[in-house]
Amino acid sequence: MKRNRMLLPVLMAVLNVSACVLEPSVKVKIEIPGTPAVRLDAYREIVIADFWQEKESKDFDLNKALTEYLRDELEHQFKGKLSSQAIAWPSAEAIQDKDFWRQALANPEGRLILTGKAEFNQDVRKALLAANRRAIDDGPFAPEKAWAERKNFSLKLDIILIRPDSGEILFQKDFQETMDYENKRQPAEFAFNDLLQRVRLKLFRLLFSSEKIQERYLLSK
Amino acid sequence: MMSQRRLIPILLLAAALALPALAQQYDFPYYGKNKVMYETFAWKSYATEHFQIFFYVDDVNVLKNVVDTAESAYRKVSSELKHELADPVPLIYYTTYTDFEQTNLFDISEGVLGVSEPLLHRIGLHGDMALDELQNLITHELTHIFEFEILWGSPGAALYAVSQPPLWTFEGLSEYLTGEWSSWSTLILRDTVMNDRIPDFSDSGELTSRYPLPREPAYDFGHAIYEFMEMRFGKNSVQQFFKSLKGGSPLLGRSDPLKKAFNLEPREFAQEFKKYLRSRFKDYFGRENPEDYSVPLGPEFPMNPYYFAFSHAVSPSGDLVATITFNAMDGDIDIVLLSTRDGKVVRNLTKGYTARYESIKYEIDPSLGKSLAWSRDGDRLAFFARAGRKHTLFIIDPLNGATLQKIKVSLDQPVGPDFYPDGRKILFSAFEKGIRDIFVIDLETEKTTNLTRNDLYEKAPVISPDGRSVVYSVRVAAYDKLFLSPLDDFQKKKQLTFGQGNTVTPEFSADGRTIYFSGDIKDAYNFYSLSLDSGELRRYTDVRTGNFFPAPLPNAPRTVIFSSFNKGAFQLFKSESPGVVEQTLTFADIGTSDTFKKFEPILTLEINKDKIQAHSGMGQLFVASRPPIDAIVSTDGSIYGGSSLAFTDILGDHTFSIAAYQVRDFRSIFLGYINQKRRFQWSITAFQYTVYYYPDLYYYDPTLWSNMNYQDALATQKITGASVSAYYPLSRYVRAEGSFGFFHYEGDFYDPYSLGTMASMASGYFLNGDILSASVSVTGETTRFKQYGPAAGNTFRLALDLALPAAEKFLHNTTLEADLRQYIYIGSDFLAAFRLRGFASLGRDPYLGYYGGNNQVRSANFYSLLATKYWYANAEFRLPLINAASTIIGPVGPFRGVLFFDVTQSQFRDYPAKFYRYDPDFSTSGFPFYREFSAIGSFGYGIEFFIFGLPVHVEFAKRLEWPSLSNPFGFSASGGFITNFWIGYDF
């Protein structure tokens, strides 16, 4: 009887691959806690101050919308008091001016200033589409269109948390979001709100250490 | 979106066109009732910044109300959802509900106020409501349009939508954005919280309740969920949550958005929500249940079959109370008499089914007033019921339910009848051109007169016992307030109730010096009395939920009968509570020049009359619905399947359709146009239909089956034709139809031998030649259906079809068809059903009729009887066996039994009208022979059960034979019982 010398190595290889591939595992979702960038619970009040704008938005009062939004959102996360105050920045560089921030509030103890820089832009962009995928919606006799217009909005937000007692910057983070809308009538204020929601998700994850959900594979052997 | 009721006659019409004389409705053997378009509306359109409003009313003020409320709603919804719609919303405004019912766009049933549709973002609604209610309605429907666009994109994009979030996410947001809680909604919400019946989230994220709820929980509990979101997570969370639903996959589970938006598992979210609701209503837990201060009278479902007391009226003697209730056994609204002593059901006055009316009118909103009234002598009972286009006032005998008088009312939504003391007139409230007023109808002349003719939205009028004054409610701003006027002069009025809250459902005491009513001054509706002499306001209850229609007994003035909402239903109670004095009111006469505070929308806009345009023609056409795509690729590579596409105009008056299908056995191409703009509707169709017949070689060699496609057919029959058809509904029940068309029948054999063989036979296999067909028919159906099929009423269809001899080569014949059915409902789902069906095709080229089997002639095989003239008759006794059975494959049922009998006669052209049976019995004649009979039939029994919605029948039939029908009792039974199994609907 002829003995097959190759049988053993092949069998070993198969078993080895099986061990890798067939390892029983369970897919799980786990919530990974984060570490807050700032211990906000150490402060009794957050004062939301005006944001610096290189150019004013002509469609709506950006500072008012931003302040109201942040206040509404922080209200359900921050246990302390929330207030807003108009603090006129002398220049964009004032952010680094500790003296300026030390003098910004009358009673700075236990308070934080939430402020930053905001830049909100909009434009209409055109794109040449190969085919009008929605021609059917306009009825069988509507002419096809080759050009598609999108209204583009972008928001740059530099969020800063400052200790008014020392003028020290505790937290600083840049966010940049853009969105395109097919609806050319999309108001700037509504787009601003949509962009802010994206910023909020990222900002609050940093400030309040909300859990991240991640998928993992548990080996059950 | 095409309504189902509209669809049925159209489908029948199309079927009649495709097979002019041989239409056999064995699949769904019902003809359907008609959706009658009583009026041809002269549509106009008006463009605003965000809407294209379609309307037909001439009054510009009505248009202004619609424009103001619509644009106000837009501003509110847009700013709340932070979204701007890409396109103007088509808003189709019908002045009244009965006009709205005639729309081609939606299937409207009683109680529907408005509809919005996701495909073309159209809103349809009617104006039979107060302005603040119209504002809420438009806000609700417009929110849906925003929801559709946020989720699926601009109009048309829903064609590509693959996911649909739970219903509560839609309806709840729409209710939430109205910013209003109706008294009915809060009642439901409070009742479920008080009785610990809050709905839960199912695995799919829908809200489900273990207990019966009078309204789909998606509305009120969805509304409460969004309020909870706002309270718990901030105002922005509402729009953030809804926007997070965009792009959700139906495969990943619908509950994911809760986790995504709030970092809460659905179970945790539900728990938090329940805690919120309990906390919201915690002040009510200390209040009373109706049993704490009164005795329940009923109806006591499930002790008896009557569920809910929608409205009631105490008899003048005080012994009886008549109430409108839902008969759960018959699935119908009935009027029953209860004893005021012990609540015993004395009589059901509207037992069984009737064709006198479609349904008794009742209102779920008590503020509209009671829905039935006694005459002061106790001899008559009045109520409104839907009959035909509008409502009819019915006056019945309370002893036996017999109709004493019926008067058609030309107004909309009549409610709150009340007899004058002399019994010669009836007072009620109704809408006239979208404005609610109080009217009087003279029972002798049947003339209706508007007594108020203003825009105050008066309702629920009740006449004092002496007949000199009338108490009613008026909409002041957004509250209903009680007023008193002389019966002969509504210009003079005295306001009786003031301040916050509604005061509704007034009723005089027997001496006429006190008014009982229901009010929500303490949030929940309690019942009160108000002395007209002293102004003393007395409250009798402090209830958790709500009490309505308090009516003191004439023979025991301290005893009050009222309805209370408790555990999901209204029930009647009897109370002798002494009550507590709340305050003393002073009344003041209202001057004729005094004006009441009215509701005003956020925006008021000027109407530019020059912008009003007549809407004529079709305008732009749109895809009506997502085209179905059926595709099959067989193992031999053949591609089968097809699709259909329909285009309609914005009002759904014109529909163009094209359909093409091919499977192994047939190929069809269909082009059609239907005009539904008027009551008289017509269509043009053209089609080609090819049937493929295959050789039976695969019986001998099964492997051949997979190698044959339609190209290997032994023979084909191709029918090509075009026709014009018309449809005219004479009423909701009866219609006339007609068609005129040309059809070319062409049979073809691919095997010349077969062609020769068949051509030599007396009757060829196929009908060949041209037909110029003219047909007319009259169809009527009053039949009322239950979940198992027809239950009561009758059906008929008489049809005449002529194949005109336009030329010698044209086929010519005359074909008559009749189908008569009668259903007699005995009660408790027992019924007798009868049918007589006849067919006669005369002339040179008669059509052939196939029948037999199923529920036609049960002792014959399916379609084994062939004739040019035939009739058959059926009599069946159908009975319930098991209402529903829970099985391992899910619920099965109901199970029903049937005892049946049928008889038939037929004739094939010039042959004798005989049936033959081969009799192998040698004993009588010494050799086998064919026995002949004049008629055959069957009798037997069987069961029917429903599985996956399909009616399955197992029956045992024995053949009957009549040597001559001149001796109808001279029949004999032949053979044993045969077992039949078939799936299909009862006739």
Q: What count of CB pairs under 8 Å joins A to B?
A: 63
Residues B416 and B557 grouped into a single domain:
yes
Which is it for strands B654-662 and B681-693: parallel, antiparallel or unpaired? Answer: unpaired
Would you call B659 helix, strand, or coil by DSSP?
strand
Report yes or no on B818 lying in a domain: yes
Report yes or no on B311 lying in a domain: no
Report yes or no on B99 lying in a domain: yes
Q: How confident is the model at residue B202 (pLDDT cuts 50, 70, 90)?
A: confident
With beta carbons less than 8 A apart as the criterion, state whether A209 and A13 touch. Answer: no
From residue B14, give the alpha-carbon distance in Å to each of B654, B657, B663, B692: 16, 12, 20, 22
Q: What angle do CA B654, B657, B661 make, to 5 degrees?
A: 165
B516-560, pLDDT tens digit by residue?
Answer: 999 998 889 999 999 999 999 999 999 999 999 999 999 888 999
For chain A, strand residue ranges (E) read: 25-32, 45-53, 81-85, 111-128, 147-163, 168-181, 212-219
CATH architecture of A38-120+154-219: 3-Layer(aba) Sandwich (3.40)
Segment among A147-156, A165-174, B37-46 with least mean pLDDT: A147-156
- Supply B171's token pair: 């309806």
The rounded mean pLDDT for chain B is 88
pLDDT of residue B156: 80
Q: What is the mean pLDDT of residues B362-378?
A: 93
Is the Cβ of B932 closer than 8 Å to some Cβ of chain A? no
Check whether B153 has a pLDDT greater than 80.
yes
Residues B845 and B755 grouped into a single domain:
no
Residues 6+ apart with CB under 8 A from B399: none
Check whether B244 has a pLDDT greater than 50.
yes
Residues B825 and B907 grouped into a single domain:
yes
Q: Which domain holds residue B136?
A: 41-158+600-616
Is the Cβ of B435 closer than 8 Å to some Cβ of chain A? no
* B156–A197 CB contact, under 8 Å: no
Q: What is the mean pLDDT of residues A25-51?
A: 84
Check whether B753 has a pLDDT greater than 50.
yes
With beta carbons less than 8 A apart as the criterion, state whether B189 and B224 touch. Answer: yes
What is chain B's percent helix, strand, coil content, to nearest 5? 20, 45, 40
Chain B residue with CA closest to A210: the answer is: B263
Residues B610 and B621 grouped into a single domain:
no
Looking at residue B61, which CATH number applies to its domain? Answer: 3.40.30.160
Total length of chain B: 987
Instruction: For the beta carbon of residue A210, count every other beta carbon within 10 angstroms.
Output: 16
Closest to B900 in 3D by CA, of B967, B810, B832, B848: B832
* A76–B154 CB contact, under 8 Å: no
| CA B253 to chain CA centroid, nearest Å | 32
Residues B226 and B126 grouped into a single domain:
no
Q: How many domains does chain B have?
A: 5
Residues B629 and B704 grouped into a single domain:
yes
Check whether B16 has a pLDDT greater than 50.
no
Q: How confident is the model at residue B263 (pLDDT cuts 50, 70, 90)?
A: confident
Residues B852 and B978 grouped into a single domain:
yes
Q: How confident is the model at residue B67 (pLDDT cuts 50, 70, 90)?
A: very high
Q: How far apart are CA B557 and CA A209, in angstroms?
A: 68
Residue whose structure tokens are 């009490």: B547
Report yes or no on B445 lying in a domain: yes
pLDDT of residue B494: 92
Report yes or no on B439 lying in a domain: yes
Report yes or no on B316 lying in a domain: no
Is the Cβ of A132 closer than 8 Å to some Cβ of chain B? no
In chain A, which residues have their Cβ closer than 8 Å to the Cβ of B240?
Answer: 197
A65: left (phi over 0), alpha (psi -120 to 50) or beta: alpha
Environment class of B434 (CB within 10 Å of its CB; exposed 0-12, middle 13-18, buried 19+)? buried
Residues B129 and B179 grouped into a single domain:
no
Q: How far apart are CA B800 and CA B775, in angstroms?
A: 6
With beta carbons less than 8 A apart as the criterion, state whether A153 and A120 touch. Answer: yes
Q: How confident is the model at residue B12 (pLDDT cuts 50, 70, 90)?
A: very low
Is the Cβ of B943 closer than 8 Å to some Cβ of chain A? no
Q: How far apart are CA B415 and CA B367, in angstroms?
A: 10
- Between these two residues, B976 and B331, which has the higher pLDDT value? B976
Domain boundary residue among B286, B302, B332? Answer: B286
Count how many Cα atoms sit within 13 Å of the Cα of residue B16 in the half-sphere of its side chain.
30
pLDDT of residue A158: 94
Q: What is the mean pLDDT of residues B331-357?
A: 91
Q: How far apart are CA B682 and CA B736, in angstroms?
A: 12
Q: How confident is the model at residue A1 (pLDDT cuts 50, 70, 90)?
A: very low
Residues 6+ apart with CB under 8 A from B505: B366, B367, B369, B370, B460, B517, B518, B548, B549, B550
Q: Domain ranges for chain A, please list them.
A: 38-120+154-219
Residues B956 and B924 grouped into a single domain:
yes
Residues B394 and B245 grouped into a single domain:
no
pLDDT of residue B10: 37
With beta carbons less than 8 A apart as the criterion, state whether B485 and B474 touch. Answer: no
Q: Of the candidates B83, B86, B154, which has its C-beta nearest A190's C-beta?
A: B83
- Supply B681's token pair: 């509707």
Q: Dihedral sign for Cα B486, B489, B493, B497, please.
A: positive
Interface test with B, best of A29, A75, A78, A137 (most B CBs within 10 A): A137
Residues B698 and B805 grouped into a single domain:
no
In chain A, which residues have their Cβ closer than 8 Å to the Cβ of B155?
Answer: 137
From residue B497, give the alpha-carbon distance in Å to each of B460, B474, B578, B583: 15, 10, 21, 11
Domain boundary residue among B704, B739, B766? Answer: B766
Q: How far apart are CA B878 and CA B942, in angstroms?
A: 10
Looking at residue B543, which CATH number applies to its domain? Answer: 2.120.10.30
Segment among B185-199, B573-587, B591-605 with least mean pLDDT: B591-605
B383-433, pLDDT tens digit by residue?
Answer: 999 988 899 999 999 999 999 999 999 999 999 999 999 999 999 999 998
- Supply B95's token pair: 């002045």
Percent share of chain B, pLDDT over 70:
91
Percent share of chain B, pLDDT over 90:
63
With beta carbons less than 8 A apart as the criterion, state whether B445 and B406 touch. Answer: no
Helix (H) or strand (E) holding B916: strand B915-919
Q: Chain A closest CA to B129's CA: distance in Å?
A: 33
Range 41-70 of A in CB contact (< 8 A) with B: 69
Q: How far apart are CA B847 and CA B869, in angstroms?
A: 9
Check whether B11 has a pLDDT greater than 60.
no
Q: Chain A closest CA to B217's CA: distance in Å?
A: 28
Residues B136 and B167 grouped into a single domain:
no
* DSSP for B34-51, written as a single string: ----------EEEE-SSE
Is the Cβ of B60 closer than 8 Å to some Cβ of chain A? no
Domain boundary residue among B256, B286, B316? Answer: B286
Report yes or no on B319 lying in a domain: no
pLDDT of residue B266: 80
Residues 6+ apart with CB under 8 A from B584: B534, B535, B536, B537
Q: Chain A closest CA to B241's CA: distance in Å?
A: 11
Q: Euclidean distance between the first and final Cα of chain B, in Å? A: 29
Is the Cβ of A189 closer than 8 Å to some Cβ of chain B? yes
Check whether A211 has a pLDDT greater than 90.
no
Q: How confident is the model at residue B217 (pLDDT cuts 50, 70, 90)?
A: very high
In chain B, which residues have their Cβ closer than 8 Å to the Cβ of A211?
Answer: 263
Model pTM score: 0.84
